[in-house]
Structure 1
Amino acid sequence: MLQYNTLIVVRGVTSPFYLGNAGLNHANKVHPLMLRSKSRVFHLIIMGLLFVGVTATNKAHALPFDPLSVGLFEGDQFRLAFVTSGSRNARSADIADYNAFVQSQADAGSVTGSLGLTWKVIGSTPDVDAQDNTGTNPVSEVGVPIFTLTGNLIADDNADLWDGSIQSRIGITQDGNLNVILTYTGTNFNGFGLGRQSLGGGDDRDVMSGTTQTGEPVGVEWIQNITIGRDLFAGYYALSEKITVPTANSDTAVSEPAPLALLGVGLVGLACLRRRRQRA
């Protein structure tokens, strides 16, 4: 009868590691872990999950500041925000164009490029409001603190972001530099779009802009300052996905969501499928 063995090396395991399968033989109570099963399908599933997990660890990232120093704790979630150093017009009515722009800015940034995060524009088109595009709707989304790349608190949560003021201006770029500019937003202070003054909102119409040139605390002018021509080139605000503060046993933070990927965090190096013959 055939029996399949999967050898898994687990980094940092000091206690028995179980996967909760009643038909599983756990040959070693400390790493490396040997899983024995007569089912080839089981081992292929385990290897597939490990592949997903190990691949997902490529999204783990070192943070630009120590989250514990700003009052966060292990396991807490938060977001980052920056203003782009690059600029573009506001003619498009497709929110995906602006998301792609800020993502490309983040990917090329000397601070943000290594983070491996997904970024969305803090902006509104005629069909999509900024609070929905960024997942910061105070009613339907769970809010988390938002920080600049230098660790300054912008807002405590979603409601704080859209209450008409923020605690720190979003003036740091993806490269960690201060950038005093106008930013296309197309957005009211409460996170909703402004119709024909939104991004791509109408033919030859002006678009609402914000500014990073402001004192602190910051009023509505951060996002609802003046209207400017949509064919000008202005900056944009970018907001990250949620990030989880790493634990003491890890040196990187993990972005959300990644339910299957969590299985692979901490598993490294070796997943080898081996087959041997045994007597029935």
Structure 2
Amino acid sequence: MHLNNNVTEFILLGLTQDPVRKKIVFATFLLFYLGTLFGNLLIIVTIKTSRALQSPMYFLLFYLSLSDTCFCTSIAPRMIVDALSKKNTISFSECMIQVFILHFFGCLEIFILILMAVDRYVAICKPLHYTTIISCRVCGVLVAMAWVGSCVHSSAQIFLALSLPFCGPNVIDHYFCDLQPLLKLACSDTYVINLLLVSNSGAICTVSFVVVMSSYIVILHSLRNHSAEGKRKALSTCSSHIIVVTLFFGPSIFMYTRPATTFPMDKMIAVFYTLGTPLLNPLIYTLRNAEVKNAMRRLWSKKLISDDER
């Protein structure tokens, strides 16, 4: 499908070309990435080892942390290494693989956030029917469908990327491969492909955001009839979900629902949803969730006991 073999590799300009700033980028994003790995892997291990966290909500949180880890890993390690390199080249095939993985786990995160919103809606608005409507088995089927849907979406992105003819400039003014910066390098009219990109990625982001936020508006409206304790607990859970949704969807919608034009702030906005959100998600979910914090304490105390026994 690749129409032109003139370009076999791309040069990534990264966030900056200034040597001093590149060192700052290296140190900052290494800390960001290590923090993301630690936070999300801690949630994954805690949910897998704790009997108290076996409800569908934590089943979905497990997959959110997993998708966050993989999503960030598709970009951060290369970006960190590139910050120390003089010339940052990426082969054509590696670039296409990065596009696929980035969109696969980005889309998976969107679907998981939708499922978490549905889970909270049923739990709060239809509590008596919760166990019959939502179960770990049902969640398992829905997550499997999310994986398939993500694969379809990212395959469509690759199809669009491979249909672009590259015959000259190969410098990507970004720190990772994505369709928006690749469109600028194509030596043909990209209007139709950009339209398909907006109708694919842009529509998924926008429609999903509207669906998720609508479900939380219905949930918050229904809280009027709940007890003070029930309101407090539901608000604590929902507010953390709304923060995550806003942080992730806001920058994504800005990036994928517009014509093929680039702005100076694009790279920093991309940093926010590719590295910032995966770092903040574990903090938001653990700091605002007593059950997760208690399970982490028990996990830590077990580790200390086992270390003492040695």
Q: TM-score range by the shorter chain?
A: under 0.3
Between structure 1 and structure 2, the one with the greater Rg is: 1
Structure with the larger strand share = 1
Provide TM-score, normalisation by structure 2: 0.24
